[in-house]
Amino acid sequence: MPEKLLLSMRKFVAPEFVFGQGAISLAGRQVAGLGVRRALLVADPGLAAYGWPGIVEASLTDAGVETRLFNEFSSNPRDYEVMAGAAAFAETGCDALVAVGGGSTMDCAKAIGIVNANQRHILEFEGVDNVERPGPPLLCVPTTAGTGAEVSQFAIVNDTARKLKIAITSKTLIPDIALLDPAVTVTMSEELTANTGFDALSHAMEAYVSNAHGPLTDLLALEAVRLIYANLPRAIAVPQDIEVRGAMLLASLYAGMAFSNAILGIMHAMSHGLGGLRDLPHGQCNAILMDAVTDYNYEAVPQRYDQLGRLLGARFDTGAPVSEKKAAVLGAIRDFKQAVGITMGLADIGVPRETFHDLAIKALGDPCILTNPRQPTVAEIEAIYESARQPRS
Ligand SMILES: [Fe+2]
């Protein structure tokens, strides 16, 4: 019998984007087409050596758009860095933002935009639909394959006082244009490729089991999982393989559109606390939590997890007992993590057990938890953190 959800009302939003080799060279033409005179180029400081921000800057200059560079921000951008960026935007008379980098860079640019348009502190936008006015035009060039920030209505900012990454969700945060060029992602290290690839996988999985999923987000989420399973190990082993890099970037795009519209779940709600506490790589946090979160959520939507598990290599008969299917799904996740070198638990990355209670309270306050297929208690979230202390064998 078809699922009743098929006919439930669902809205889907996505920006204009260009995918393919050479897309980065369109930056100038695209920004000039928006009537922009001067753009703040928000660029990951670590990327200068690879030349990508320079290529975008040259493209803007050729199209008659002036640029001012802003690169004084961290991975997991901090609240005060966003406010400094907004001040730089105003002081230099910019009228648009261009982001070149991974999720942190794009989130920083999104945050600078809404601070500027609304003249409020960035932390005041926390939660869902708290942004009154959209920011100035924003073009994004992602340099990693995982975040999905180039198409999403999310921005994540580090609240340094509360030691927590806050989630801001608003349609106004969707960039105007994204340029997805596989060539830009070949400079990622093995570790960054694995972590960002698992971030994309976590987006696809959480979107697929979300309470807010629909036919279109399902289509995108399942194809993202298939592409990630088929391509991530080779993207790590042969980083210059442009076909494989392209497949991963496409997977990230699909997963990004899926989660931007179906939203996420407890994996992200729980990893936001970890990222704020220890400034840990976001994708790595999701990957560490993935087994324990699946173990907890499985009973709410077993058939959905079975489908995800099959795409990750799990083998079981359709008529097998539920416990057998669940074990196969969890085994597939464990094996795939090991295949890409993610073999640590929370204890290995320095997250002490004493932090679990506070982390659980923070996770319960994260908007991503609202669409999780099971609504956990504080004690249950603590138990999931506990279960993720050691990697599964
Ligand atoms: Fe994520």
Q: Supply φ then ψ for residue 304, to 5 degrees.
A: -65, -45
d(CA 282, CA 195): 8
CA 283 / ligand 1 centre spacing (Å): 6
Judge whether residue 2 has pLDDT over 60: no
pLDDT digits (tens, 9 = 90+) for 313-328: 999 999 999 999 999 9
Pair of tokens at residue 310: 């099959």
CA 201 / ligand 1 centre spacing (Å): 9
SS3 at position 83: helix
Mean pLDDT of the chain, nearest integer: 95
pLDDT digits (tens, 9 = 90+) for 348-368: 999 999 999 999 999 999 989
What's the length of the chain? 393
CA 60 / ligand 1 centre spacing (Å): 29
Judge whether residue 42 has pLDDT over 70: yes
pLDDT digits (tens, 9 = 90+) for 115-144: 999 999 999 999 999 999 999 999 999 999
Mean pLDDT, residues 285-300 taken together: 98
CA 38 / ligand 1 centre spacing (Å): 31
Judge whether residue 270 has pLDDT over 70: yes
Residues with CB under 5 A from ligand 1 (ion): 199
With beta carbons less than 8 A apart as the criterion, state whether 345 and 387 touch: no
- Predicted TM-score (pTM) of the model is 0.95
What is the percent of the chain with per-residue pLDDT over 90, rounded to a whole number?
92
CA 203 / ligand 1 centre spacing (Å): 6
What is the percent of the chain with per-residue pLDDT over 70, rounded to a whole number?
99
CA 255 / ligand 1 centre spacing (Å): 10
CA 30 / ligand 1 centre spacing (Å): 27
CA 154 / ligand 1 centre spacing (Å): 10
Nearest in space to 270 (alpha carbons), one of 252, 256, 291, 251: 291
Please identify which residue in the block is written with the tokens 């897309």. 23
Amino acid in the structure at residue 147: T
CA 286 / ligand 1 centre spacing (Å): 7
The pLDDT-based confidence of 4 (bands split at 50, 70, 90) is low
Residue 3: predicted pLDDT: 58
CA 103 / ligand 1 centre spacing (Å): 9
CA 29 / ligand 1 centre spacing (Å): 30
CA 280 / ligand 1 centre spacing (Å): 13
Nearest in space to 113 (alpha carbons), one of 60, 56, 70: 70
The pLDDT-based confidence of 1 (bands split at 50, 70, 90) is very low
Mean pLDDT, residues 276-300 taken together: 94
CA 299 / ligand 1 centre spacing (Å): 23
CA 147 / ligand 1 centre spacing (Å): 6
Q: Supply φ then ψ for residue 168, to 5 degrees.
A: -110, 125
CA 200 / ligand 1 centre spacing (Å): 7
pLDDT digits (tens, 9 = 90+) for 164-215: 889 999 999 999 999 999 999 999 999 999 999 999 999 999 999 999 999 9
CA 36 / ligand 1 centre spacing (Å): 30
Between strands 138-142 and 154-159, the pairing is unpaired
CA 202 / ligand 1 centre spacing (Å): 7
Q: Which residues of 161-173 are buried (b: 16+ CB within 10 A; e: fewer)?
A: eebbbbbbbbebb
CA 282 / ligand 1 centre spacing (Å): 7
Judge whether residue 290 has pLDDT over 50: yes
CA 57 / ligand 1 centre spacing (Å): 28
